[in-house]
Structure 1
């Protein structure tokens, strides 16, 4: 873990930046969430599993904008020891922890007839089990704070061939509402449900396919990582202080079609 500023309970003041742990923060939506929160004054703990180089590049980018504001932490979220260590290390970096963003996720098709134990354990582990135990550890480590889970708009209308993934995200969506009741009022728990998000660094759709997909969406465009990050920032902000137990769709209206 790269080292950030060290704060103790004795030195914290109202001006001390809030601290967020973002899982799967090295790339794509996770990285954009980190940039968005950092721009809003947060210190960010960037979790990664294997993408050490990308995570460190992001931390360096953010540190160049504001020193002692970003740190990386490695963990395999499918392993109990990794999950338990993650919350502790994130809190120790700045002496506090205010938010957890459960973003890390495995995603691939598992048509019925091809689902095996390995795929089930991976999809259920990354999309439901890890967020559950991380949220439990977070709740035990803070006096107040906020959790945002990244779910999926297709929880309401699952895609063919993605039964295991959809079930895992559906479980996470339900978990968020359950925790919102159990952890209130000291911890708020909400979710963001992205629709079809365009990856500028990894897009396989042709121009014709992109036009056809955009035509299905009332807003007539695919979403961006920035759209998701804006929603996460709002749910973690003071403006959302009376909001808990909600799933905010960021899908351009796709769920309506």
Structure 2
């Protein structure tokens, strides 16, 4: 049985997920890097981490919208090193669904990735943890909606509620907390466009984007012994955006 604690991070091939994997790995965690369509990038990330510390990172593929895949992912994560200590529910889809254009398919997709999958995966992982911690990646806009994102906002607000509900239900064995990012990284080409970057930045009191590392450090704290008495909490990491 491996001595290093083991964390599963979903949607971890790129961006905030990859930053979280790097931060936790540097802190001594063994990392299970989940990806779906970006498995190749997840494998490259794992290979690089394994060069620095052999047998400390592994990439696993799963479609989180497939309920059967969640049990399999949790079991594979535990089987990798014979233990599972933490879960970071980072995988997410995000796109606008203006009223008048919202389809049932888009609703199912957004709620499936941002709410159903984290809830069912936490259930699957909790059954395979002795003690541990879960961190859900939320969104400061879950409680201060932006126009045009009703389905996404509903899903993230639901995950916020789940964070508190599971903190109650899984205590004292497993702590459950959340991190609520603001504007961390500009959306990628092909994603939703922030048409006025300067106007968006002007809404952030700290007057800059956060970057994935800011979220990663918050996750590291919430998973660490330093946060042993913290559960059901949501830590905003948004440069003050929620105050605007």
Higher mean displacement: 90-99 or 108-117 = 108-117
Once the two structures are superposed, residues 120-162 of structure 1 have per-residue CA deviations (whole angstroms, 9 ceiling, x without a partner) of 1110000000011011111111121000000000011111000
Change (3 A) 1:118 1:200: closer
Which one of the candidate residues 163, 166, 182 is aligned to 1:195? 182
Q: 1:160-179 maps to which residues of 2 (within 5 A)?
A: 160-179=147-166
Change (3 A) 1:56 1:145: same
Partner of 1:130: 117
Instruction: Give distance in 2, aligned partners of 1:34 and 1:199.
Output: 20
Q: 1:102-251 maps to which residues of 2 (within 5 A)?
A: 102-199=89-186, 209-251=196-238
Partner of 1:3: none
Partner of 2:77: 90
Normalising by structure 2, what TM-score?
A: 0.95
Partner of 1:57: 44
- What's the secondary structure of 1:243's corresponding residue? coil
Normalising by structure 1, what TM-score?
A: 0.91
Partner of 2:33: 46
Partner of 2:241: 254
Moved over 3 A (4+): 199-206
Is the contact made by 1:199 and 1:225 (CA closer than 8 Å) also made in structure 2?
A: no
Instruction: Give distance in 2, aligned partners of 1:130 and 1:216.
Output: 31
Q: Structure 1, unaligned stretches of length 5 or more?
A: 1-6
Q: Structure 2, unaligned stretches of length 5 or more?
A: none
Change (3 A) 1:29 1:243: same
Instruction: Give distance in 2, aligned partners of 1:201 and 1:78.
Output: 23
Following TM superposition, by how much is the alpha carbon of 1:200 offset from its aligned partner in structure 2, in angstroms?
8.9
Instruction: Give distance in 2, aligned partners of 1:213 and 1:230.
Output: 24
- What's the secondary structure of 2:25's corresponding residue? helix
Q: Does 1:29 align with 2:9?
A: no
Compute the RMSD of aligned alpha carbons: 1.5
Instruction: Give distance in 2, aligned partners of 1:180 and 1:166.
Output: 21
Following TM superposition, by how much is the alpha carbon of 1:205 offset from its aligned partner in structure 2, in angstroms?
5.7
Following TM superposition, by how much is the alpha carbon of 1:201 offset from its aligned partner in structure 2, in angstroms?
6.7
